[in-house]
């Protein structure tokens, strides 16, 4: 798999008024199930964010669900099995990763499982804390 997407890229790709929309949308639009994926749990993260977004950008549950379908059609979903989930948590615990960064760690584990060459995120620092293996995969969407 060539590309892997964090929810921090998927959300702005779907919100035209977002400051990172153009760059996020460009890489998302170039993706297909053959070359790109995301963690299955990222669908819930994106849905949650879209339906609680501040101001006029907040989406209805129905519209957010339609956008989630667009992600499912464009990306391959990757999830961890029982042993992989446990191993990911144990690895994060050994690194002292706590709080919300745990979700980034699960995304990272899915990206590694998929054999991704690049993980697109706007939270580069968060993922870089997960070690050199992730640091070499993590990048922001390129400028147009």
Q: Give the number of C-alpha atoms closer than 13 A to the C-alpha of residue 18, restricted to the C-beta side.
A: 22
| Residue ranges of E strands in the chain | 3-5, 36-39, 76-78, 118-120, 138-139
Residues contacting 121, CB < 8 A, separation 6+: 6, 8, 9, 104, 107, 127, 138, 139, 140
What confidence score (pLDDT) does residue 121 get? 97
Cα 41 from Cα 78, distance rounded (Å):
9
Query: Using one digit for the tens of pLDDT, what is the confidence trace for 66-106?
Result: 999 999 999 999 999 999 999 999 999 999 999 988 999 99
pLDDT digits (tens, 9 = 90+) for 30-68: 999 999 999 999 999 999 999 999 888 899 999 999 999
Taking only the tens place, the pLDDT of each residue in 96-141 is 999 988 999 999 999 999 999 999 999 998 898 898 999 999 999 9
Is domain 3-139 classified as CATH 3.40.50.970? no
Count H helices, E strands: the chain? 8, 5
- The residue extents of the domains of the chain are 3-139
């Amino acid at each position: 798999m060539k590309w892997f997407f964090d929810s921090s890229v998927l959300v702005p790709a779907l919100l035209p008024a977002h400051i990172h929309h153009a760059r996020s949308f460009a890489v998302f639009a170039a993706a297909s199930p053959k070359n790109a994926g995301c963690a299955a749990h990222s669908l819930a993260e994106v849905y949650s964010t879209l339906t609680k977004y501040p101001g006029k950008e907040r989406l209805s549950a129905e519209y957010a669900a339609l956008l989630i379908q667009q992600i499912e059609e464009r990306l391959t979903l990757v999830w961890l099995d029982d042993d992989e989930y446990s191993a990911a948590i144990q690895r994060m615990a050994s690194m002292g990763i706590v709080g919300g960064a745990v979700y980034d760690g699960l995304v990272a584990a899915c990206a590694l499982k998929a054999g991704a060459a690049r993980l697109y995120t706007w939270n580069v620092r968060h993922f870089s804390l997960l070690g050199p293996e992730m640091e070499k995969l993590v990048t922001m969407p390129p400028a147009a």
